[in-house]
Chain A
Amino acid sequence: MGYKGLKKVDIIFDCANCEPLEVLKKALAMTPDQIIEQIISSGLRGRGGAGFPTGLKWKLAKAEKSDVKYVICNADEGEPGTFKDREILDVVPSKVLVGMAICAYAIGAKEGFVYLRNEYNFLLKDLNPLIEKFNKNIQNLGLDFTIKMFSGSGAYICGEESALFESMEGKRGEPRNKPPYPTKIGYNGKPTVINNVETLVYCTMIIRIGVEPFKKLGTSDSRGSKVFSISGDTTKAGIYELELGIGVDEFVKEFGNGDTKAVQIGGASGFCVPRKDFKNKIIGFEGVPTGGSMMIFNSSRSMYNVLKDYLEFFAEESCGQCTPCRVGTQQLLKGIEAIKRGEKPSSYLNQLLKLTETMKVASKCGLGQSVQNSFSSIVNNFREEMIY
């Protein structure tokens, strides 16, 4: 494990005023295959949560034979405790658009969409004119690509890529069966690359600064840096770009308020790391992966309440179509409440833990599959708080 000390990085928000079109020109001077090659060799993995290798995703989409392909920027940002995409779109929107254009050029797409979280509609005031201008500029550069905005439906599940496509197609936001994956059959049934806001900016920056400066950051499984949304019991709440692979203890030393009991890494669908594990866990795909949310809890927090909040969130935000997730989330919530009230014995927690295993292996999408992460990491580490 490549344990690292804390290191602040400035790639995403760097040179907010530099000319993004220059980066695009640089990309257009390369061949699509060269671009994809660079993204692959950078080791960049998706920043939306699942961590799929971005270059490979682009390569798969490029390989599809289709006249129509799409690039979609996932700006639905619904994970509790995450607000970094909003910041990126607010501060360096052009870099996001350039990332989309580079991707479009690389895979052969003519149309792109930014799927914007409903609550972020206030950004449209600035984004709309920017996109209009950007569309003209890229046409002038000879790239046949147009970006449009799409205002989301307001449901957390619509951040899941296939539910997002359904929602864009005017249907109910329900995740699809996979396979087929979006690179084969995505929006409107066409090959689609969908990337997180932050992922796209890293693509822009990898083209601009080159592969090496990015790649030398992080660990072998988690190259580069990442933007974190830090909240909870901290005096330094906010957005930070940090190198990947740092130890949780380093993180807590910097951001904790001295009394940190646990850190929830990756939001409601992520993992809870208790104090005793701070030393031997790193933040990254080989350790604790995260889409960016870091919630810090100090000793006065009830982890029962934390878990209950998450379960209420899941029971509300599950799309409700598949059995393990729809009913499982309700059972977990009702179950911990019943144990707390003494209506069920504490051994019922074991039944519930088994249930999360079923949800993990049998749910249709990432939402139901990842409920186990927070449930088991909180229940196993704070069992007594669940019971008494």
Chain B
Amino acid sequence: MSLSASQNRAGLALIAPASVLALLFLIAPLSSIFVLAFTDYQLGDRSLSFVGLKNFEALADDPTFWKSLTNTLIYSAVVVPGSMLLGLVSALLIDAGTSLRSFYRTAFFLPVMASLLAMAVVWEFMLHPSFGIVNATMKALGFAPHNWLKDGGIALYVLAVIGIWQSFGFNMVLFMAGLSAIPRDLYDAAEMDGTPNAWARFKLITWPLLAPVTVFVAVTSVIRSFQVFDTVHALTQGGPNKATEVLLYTIYAEGFEFFRSGHAAAITIVFIMLVVGVSLLRFVSLKKNGASA
């Protein structure tokens, strides 16, 4: 047997288990999403019929879906800048000195590690209207207390704050990795070149050289924020009055509480398009950077 033929056989054999499992647990489910979305299938049905675009038409007329989509985007618009900014500031501040570095790094990373579900329960207690620490603090500072999770006007933003709390440490670690790749000499050179202050050095060196990391962090943060589910399910169940209804929660409710699989599949397609679209944006921006470098 020739060398290349034997490599061919070995290669196919080695990817065989992965291929079978991928077929079963990735390709088949993914394709069936695109089939289900055009059917009236409900879990347990013995048969299904194709209904064309009816699921999507229903979606277009469904205020819950629109609410859910808008809420997801609002949540994302708060969490992404918030967790990126806090992550970047943390990374810069930690990097600017030598003392207590690993203490801060560890402290900021703890929320990333802790089970969000368990911590959501803790947040619920902290936000408790009558004996939560948040309202106690508000009262002590002379502000009016709130019923944080039951007030439709603020509940989504409260969840966003929890989202920032949970994810900024992750962004910080990525930013710190990016910062450590910037040669120290450049800052010395900038100092000699007369940069008047740290802000000028940040603009001259840190920000442009961090750009690829920043784009990566942005894309990751957006995708993660689209996947918000745990806090919604544990704390608000999408309420009050759909104020915190988000895409993944709607998919969950449609697919696993009402078992309207076709409807859930249609929303899933919207969800997939959002996620894939953001990822593709990253490739475009990489291409652009690559071309000009």
A complexed with B: no
List the interface of chain B (C-beta within 8 A of A).
Answer: none
Q: Using CB atoms and an 8 Å cutoff, list the residues of chain A in contact with chain B.
A: none
